[in-house]
């Protein structure tokens, strides 16, 4: 899978974090992160809990507003500070339509059916034909293997099924970037595989992805690059093989020893 991606990387990175900082009160969660993600690259973020990897991910689409630094996606500055509150809301809503996010607890809309969940944002936010969107939504559901669940409510689905719907829902916006925030952590072990498979397919199609996960097997198989974070900083990064079989930093070694034993 990694071989299929050895195409030349374009100049402009898809995601660029420059000196990214985030504090909650006095607590510095991100201490100046510099990171670039190339088009079609799959970047996997690993690290102990509290290392700031989820916060980093949430800063990319501004669910958390950075307290310093720059976030740029597809050449556009995300965390603009030159706008009025109202203008910034307009800006961020538009920017977010290009980024899909999948959450640990799925966050499907419980009062809407599977199909309605997928159609909600595209029909309400994008100026696109409803019939055409429905066709597209069904193709996405088919892709995640849940076409027959179109009229079910989230409460009637297993966790794995819900998470696959959540991925389809994010894809329905035709994002150029997908952000995955520990998407298998809340799942029963036997349901993890079905979700990872969908993500693997997506990676193979050339989607740009940042994946925060504890699934080291997935990281090894699918990641183009693995970044290890601890205490709000990037400790080490490299291709999976390098990180997993020959980590340079002591902290990386300790972390891997803990999760892989």
Partner 1 sequence: MLDWQIMTHYFPFLLKGALITLEISVISLVLGLLAGLLAALWILSTNPLLHWSGRFYVWIVRSTPLLVQLFIIYFGLPQFGINLNPFWSGVLALALNTGAYNAETIRGGILAVPKGQREAARSLGMSKALTMRRIILPQAMGLIIPPLGNNFVILIKDTSLVSTITLVELTLTAQRLIGSTYKPFEMYLMAAVLYAILTTGASLLLRQVERRTVWGHA
Which CB sits closer to partner 1, 157 or 234? Answer: 157
What x-and-dash track marks residues 168-197 binding partner 1 by CB under 8 A?
Answer: -xx--x------------------------
65 near partner 1 (CB under 8 A): no
Q: At what angle do helices 114-125 and 130-143 cross, to 10 degrees?
A: 140
- Minimum CB distance to partner 1, residue 211 (Å): 16
Measured from the CB atom, the residue of 55 and 252 that comes closer to partner 1 is: 55
Closest distance of CB 106 from partner 1, Å: 8
Contacts of 260 (CB under 8 A, 6+ apart): 216
Dist. CA 192–CA 8, nearest whole Å? 32
Reduced to 3 states (helix: H, G, I; strand: E, B; else coil), residue 227 is: strand
- 68 neighbors 232 (Cβ within 8 angstroms): no
Token reading at 238: 């490299």
Q: Among 10, 50, 110, 217, which residue sits at the site for partner 1 (rule: CB under 8 A)?
A: 110
**Spatial CA neighbour of 163 closest among 126, 213, 232:** 213
167 is an interface residue for partner 1 by CB under 8 A: no
Shortest distance (Å) from residue 35 CB to partner 1: 20
| Sole binder of partner 1 in the list 155, 190, 245, 258 (CB under 8 A) | 155
Site for partner 1 in 113-152 (CB under 8 A): 120-121, 124-125, 152
Structure token pair of residue 196? 């990872």
Q: Is 103 in the site for partner 1 (CB under 8 A)?
A: yes
For residue 188, how many other CB atoms are within 10 A of its CB?
Answer: 10
Q: Does residue 108 belong to the site contacting partner 1 (CB under 8 A)?
A: yes
For position 61 contacting partner 1 by CB under 8 A, the verdict is: yes
Handedness of CA 52, 53, 57, 63 (dihedral sign): negative
Answer for which of 21, 23, 48, 63 binds partner 1 (CB under 8 A) is 63
Cα–Cα distance between 15 and 105 in angstroms, integer? 25
β-pair partners for 76? 73
The contact set with partner 1 (CB under 8 A) reads 61, 63, 89, 93-94, 96-97, 99-101, 103, 105, 107-112, 120-121, 124-125, 152-156, 166, 169-170, 173
């Amino acid at each position: 899978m990694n071989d299929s991606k050895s195409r030349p990387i374009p100049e402009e990175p898809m995601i660029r974090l420059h000196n990214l900082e985030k504090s909650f009160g006095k607590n510095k969660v991100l201490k100046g992160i510099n990171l670039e993600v190339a088009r079609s690259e799959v970047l996997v973020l690993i690290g102990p809990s509290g290392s700031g990897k989820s916060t980093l991910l949430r800063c990319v689409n501004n669910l958390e507003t950075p307290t310093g630094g720059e976030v740029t996606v597809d050449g556009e500055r995300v965390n603009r500070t030159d706008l009025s509150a109202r203008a910034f809301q307009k800006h961020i809503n538009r920017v977010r339509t290009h980024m899909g996010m999948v959450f640990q607890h799925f966050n499907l809309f419980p009062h809407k059916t599977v199909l309605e969940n997928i159609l909600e944002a595209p029909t309400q936010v994008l100026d696109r034909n409803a019939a055409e969107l429905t066709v597209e939504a069904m193709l996405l559901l088919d892709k995640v293997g849940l076409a027959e669940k179109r009229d079910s409510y989230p409460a009637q689905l297993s966790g794995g099924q819900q998470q696959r719907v959540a991925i389809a829902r994010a894809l329905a916006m035709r994002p150029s970037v997908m952000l995955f925030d520990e998407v298998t952590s809340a799942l029963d072990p036997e349901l993890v595989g079905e979700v990872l498979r969908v993500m693997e397919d997506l990676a193979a199609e050339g989607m740009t992805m940042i994946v925060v996960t504890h699934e080291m097997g997935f990281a090894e198989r699918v990641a183009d690059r693995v970044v290890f974070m601890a205490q709000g900083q990037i400790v080490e990064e490299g291709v999976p093989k390098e990180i997993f079989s020959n980590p340079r930093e002591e902290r990386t070694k300790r972390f891997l020893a803990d999760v892989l034993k």
